[in-house]
């Protein structure tokens, strides 16, 4: 019962957040669990950064109570008084609560959760967080396991357990529902038949749920899937904003900001993933300048605050600050300074060049590292080949097919609007290999327990969404052409081509 | 529906539809083989015998067993204990005692845990921790090698960490120590 109350609170809180920021009751449903969990992380992050006491129940109560109270207290607009509005909201909530009840009951009856030795390091930090003893978390755990997942796990201390059994499966369902929402909202303005939309949406979901590692990650007690959800939402919300989709900008920007602490405090590479997820968006002149500034400022503030917290922990222990602490903090300062200038014309004019330059810089850094220590790269490449192509990583050969589709789209699809979905995926590849040089473990290794093999899930849902969105694009190079142009109505063409005012 | 999608072999939508389907078919065909070849904790749908991943890990994995069991069992049997341990203890992990062990407080003292062990007879007071384990064979070996819990008939709630010469550590109820030792360690 305790677990059901906790996850229901998260669902209601995330749903309230969506409705408060402008989503319809049904649309808010798709984001409800992930947003609720991220509100908990957001509240916790504020407590940690301000040095205030941390307590799992308090954090949960604030994160759940605040949006719901604000929703209840907001002035009624005429549309809220329509007879169908209340009924739709009620049905949505009931469906959500009943689904959660089934999920919690099932997962508490069928022990499917999976672990790695790292899982218990997250547990340790989660327990200490719930007991307001975060000062005792050792630097290694703080730097490598960070806080998002421990905070999420700590909610189980409310009812006397060590982890929330339905947490990761609920996140997994959340990733699927958010992917479906994004695809549907993006494709709504594209000139594509309804049959094709249904077909691609179904294939996109099937591609994820049929993948062995996706299913495994749906039960694996680790932060990877949560990070994947954050990257997906930050990039997906950016795309919807860029394309002027029928989703309120107030929600899109709010959800991007909401996911920042969860991502940046989720993994050591979280700030880089967040940077990759927002860079194409903040450089896009077709997005309102205020939205771009707000998102960049959000990224900068969270990156700075988290790394200052880390710096404080290092100084408290009398340790010197490593590059992994002051490097991101310096980047955050640069990002703050860039906020007023991010919308200036010369910068946005060279958006494509900047993105290419950023990716090239990562590959050059990898090349330099490889020249310095070629053995690490050779071993990592060999292990990754074994894991992905030969099958040692349990991904199955479909990842090879996926890579082929990815290259096909990169080569033949000319649609530049896809950059916001594509960039975080392609920029992450050199970054993942660079991490082999920065971590203590050295080169990646063969087997499904390898770090890189497990990290790939962080970009997998976004990669699949990218391919699904590319599939409905009309902008292709020869020999691939989109037939049946007559079917495209003139008004649709104009809506898709002119819907991006500067 | 398919008719609307497959209008031309050069239609990228048709190509991607086929490639997506191919990837899904590969996923489905390979799924059982991946499951067959994966260790239990890397298998996607492996069902354990019981709930609680900590107990599962203690029963199935040496690394989890040594990293988690010595602390989890303390928290299970004596939550909210006060633990007295040597400054810079090389065997017991204070972070795990606070977290999995659910200790309410840790007090660091300068004492020799091996010498103290040798002058204290804890053997008759050792708990049979096997009762807590699900997979007795493996867990028993680890418990014998890593840790033990010894209490008097009326446990005080304060445990002092002692070491034997083989590298095993013990949570010893402060009631089992003599009055002078308790005074030296500042235990009331």
The more confident residue out of B10 and A425 is: A425
pLDDT per position as a tens digit, A475-488: 888 877 776 544 44
Taking the domains of chain A in order of start, what are their residue ranges?
Answer: 2-74+81-471
Asked if pLDDT for residue A490 goes beyond 50, the answer is no
The more confident residue out of B55 and A490 is: B55
Contacts of B55 in chain A (CB under 8 A): none
**pLDDT score, position A398:** 86
Is residue A377 less than 8 Å (CB to CB) from chain B?
A: no
Asked if pLDDT for residue A94 goes beyond 80, the answer is yes
Residue where the block lists tokens 């972070």: B95
> Considering chain A, what is the average pLDDT of its residues?
92
Interface probe, candidates A112, A159, A213, chain B, greatest B C-beta count within 10 A: A112
- Distance from C-alpha of A251 to C-alpha of A277, rounded to nearest angstrom: 17
pLDDT per position as a tens digit, A156-180: 999 999 999 999 999 999 999 999 9
Asked if pLDDT for residue A347 goes beyond 80, the answer is no
The more confident residue out of A277 and A350 is: A277
Contact B100 A123 (CB under 8 A): yes
Q: Name the residue in chain A with its Cα closest to that of B7.
A: A483
* Cα atoms found within 13 Å of the Cα of residue A129, Cβ hemisphere only: 36
Q: Which chain A residues in 429-448 lie under 8 Å from chain B, judged by CB atoms? A: 448
Q: Which chain A residues in 444-473 lie under 8 Å from chain B, judged by CB atoms? A: 448-449, 467, 470-473
Do the Cβ atoms of A469 and A187 come closer than 8 Å? yes
Q: How many CB atoms lie within 10 A of CB B178?
A: 10
Q: Name the residue in chain B with its Cα closest to that of A133.
A: B98
Contact A193 B4 (CB under 8 A): yes
- Distance from C-alpha of A193 to C-alpha of A189, rounded to nearest angstrom: 11
Q: Name the residue in chain A with its Cα closest to that of B105.
A: A133
Nearest to A207 among B4, B15, B20 (CB): B20
Q: How many CB atoms lie within 10 A of CB A356?
A: 12
Is residue A341 less than 8 Å (CB to CB) from chain B?
A: no
- Cα distances (angstroms) measured from residue A431 to each of A220, A306, A400: 23, 20, 20
* A100 Cβ neighbours under 8 A, 6+ residues apart: A4, A7, A8, A11, A166, A170
Is residue A482 less than 8 Å (CB to CB) from chain B?
A: yes
- pLDDT-based confidence at A441, cuts 50/70/90? low
Q: What is the pLDDT along chain B (188 residues), one digit of tens a residue?
A: 555 555 566 678 889 999 999 999 999 999 999 999 999 999 999 999 888 999 899 888 888 888 999 999 999 999 999 999 999 888 999 999 999 999 999 999 999 999 999 999 999 999 988 777 776 667 777 777 889 999 999 999 999 999 999 999 999 999 999 999 999 999 86
Helical pair A167-187 and A194-209, crossing angle rounded to 10 deg = 160
- Name the residue among B100, B106, B104, B94 with its Cα closest to residue B76: B100
pLDDT per position as a tens digit, A179-201: 999 999 999 988 888 999 999 99
Taking the domains of chain B in order of start, what are their residue ranges?
Answer: 2-42, 60-184
Describe chain A by its helix, strand, coil percentages, rounded to 5.
75, 0, 25
- Name the residue among A263, A325, A251, A323 with its Cα closest to residue A294: A251
State chain B's maximal CA–CA distance in angstroms. 92
pLDDT per position as a tens digit, A350-392: 899 999 999 999 999 999 999 999 999 999 999 999 999 999 9
The more confident residue out of A494 and B65 is: B65
**pLDDT score, position B4:** 52
Structure tokens at B26: 């590969």
pLDDT per position as a tens digit, A300-313: 999 999 999 999 99
pLDDT per position as a tens digit, A392-409: 999 999 899 999 999 999
The more confident residue out of A20 and B62 is: A20
First to last CA, chain A: 51
């Amino acid at each position: 019962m305790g677990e059901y109350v906790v996850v229901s609170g998260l669902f209601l809180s995330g749903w309230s957040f969506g409705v408060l920021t402008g989503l319809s009751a049904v649309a808010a449903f798709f984001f409800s669990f992930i947003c609720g969990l991220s509100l908990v992380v957001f509240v916790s992050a504020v407590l940690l950064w301000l040095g205030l006491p941390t307590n799992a129940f308090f954090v949960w109560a604030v994160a759940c109570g605040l949006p719901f109270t604000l929703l209840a207290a907001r002035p009624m607009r005429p549309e809220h008084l329509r007879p169908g509005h209340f009924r739709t909201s009620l049905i949505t909530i009931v469906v959500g609560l009943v689904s959660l009840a089934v999920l919690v009951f099932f997962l508490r009856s069928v022990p499917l959760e999976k672990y790695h030795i790292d899982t218990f390091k997250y547990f340790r930090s989660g327990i200490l967080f719930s007991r307001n003893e975060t000062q005792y978390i050792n630097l290694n755990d703080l730097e490598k396991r960070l806080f998002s997942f421990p905070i999420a796990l700590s909610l189980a201390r409310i009812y006397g357990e060590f982890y929330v059994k339905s947490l990761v499966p609920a996140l997994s369902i959340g990733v699927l529902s958010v992917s479906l929402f994004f695809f549907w909202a993006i494709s709504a303005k594209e000139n594509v038949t309804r049959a094709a939309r249904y077909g691609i949406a179904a294939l996109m979901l099937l591609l994820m749920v049929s993948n062995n590692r996706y299913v495994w990650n749906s039960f694996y007690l680790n932060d990877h899937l949560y990070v994947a959800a954050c990257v997906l939402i930050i990039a997906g919300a950016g795309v919807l904003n860029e394309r002027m989709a029928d989703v309120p900008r107030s929600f899109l920007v709010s959800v991007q900001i909401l996911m920042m602490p969860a991502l940046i405090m989720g993994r050591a590479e979280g700030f880089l993933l967040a940077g990759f997820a927002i860079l194409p968006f903040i450089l896009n002149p077709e997005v309102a300048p205020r939205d771009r500034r707000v998102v960049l400022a959000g990224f900068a503030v969270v990156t700075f605050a988290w790394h200052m917290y880390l710096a404080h922990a290092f100084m408290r222990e009398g340790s010197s600050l490593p590059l992994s602490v002051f490097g991101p903090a310096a980047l955050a300062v640069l990002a703050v300074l860039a906020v007023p200038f991010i919308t200036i014309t010369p910068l946005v004019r060279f958006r494509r060049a900047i993105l290419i330059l950023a990716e090239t810089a990562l590959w050059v850094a990898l090349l330099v590292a490889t020249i310095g220590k070629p053995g690490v790269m050779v071993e990592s490449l060999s292990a990754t080949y074994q894991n992905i192509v030969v099958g040692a990583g349990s991904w199955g050969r479909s990842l090879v097919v996926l890579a082929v589709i990815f290259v096909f789209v990169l080569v033949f699809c000319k649609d530049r609007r896809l950059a916001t979905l594509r960039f975080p995926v392609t920029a992450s590849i050199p970054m993942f290999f660079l991490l082999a040089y920065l971590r203590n473990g050295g080169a990646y290794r063969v087997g499904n327990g390898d770090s890189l093999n497990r990290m790939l899930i962080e970009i997998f849902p976004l990669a699949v969404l990218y391919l699904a969105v590319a599939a409905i694009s009309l902008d292709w190079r020869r020999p691939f052409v989109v037939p049946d142009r007559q079917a495209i109505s003139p008004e649709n063409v104009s809506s898709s081509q002119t819907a991006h005012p500067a | 529906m398919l008719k609307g999608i497959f209008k031309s072999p050069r239609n990228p939508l048709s190509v991607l539809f086929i490639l997506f389907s191919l990837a899904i078919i590969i996923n489905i065909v390979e799924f059982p083989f991946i499951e067959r070849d994966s260790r239990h904790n890397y298998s996607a749908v492996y069902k354990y015998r019981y709930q609680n991943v900590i107990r599962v890990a203690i029963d199935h994995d040496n690394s989890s067993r040594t990293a988690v069991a010595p602390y989890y069992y303390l928290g299970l049997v004596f939550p909210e204990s006060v633990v007295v341990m040597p400054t810079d203890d090389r065997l017991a992990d204070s972070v795990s005692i606070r977290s999995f062990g659910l200790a309410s407080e840790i007090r660091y003292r300068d004492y020799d845990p091996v010498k103290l062990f040798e002058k204290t007879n804890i053997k008759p007071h050792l708990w049979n921790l096997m009762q807590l384990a699900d997979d007795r064979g493996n867990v028993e070996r680890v418990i014998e090698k890593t840790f033990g819990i010894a209490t008097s008939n009326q446990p005080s709630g304060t445990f002092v960490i002692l070491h034997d010469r083989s590298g095993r550590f013990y949570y010893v109820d402060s009631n089992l120590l003599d009055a002078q030792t308790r005074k030296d360690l500042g235990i009331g």
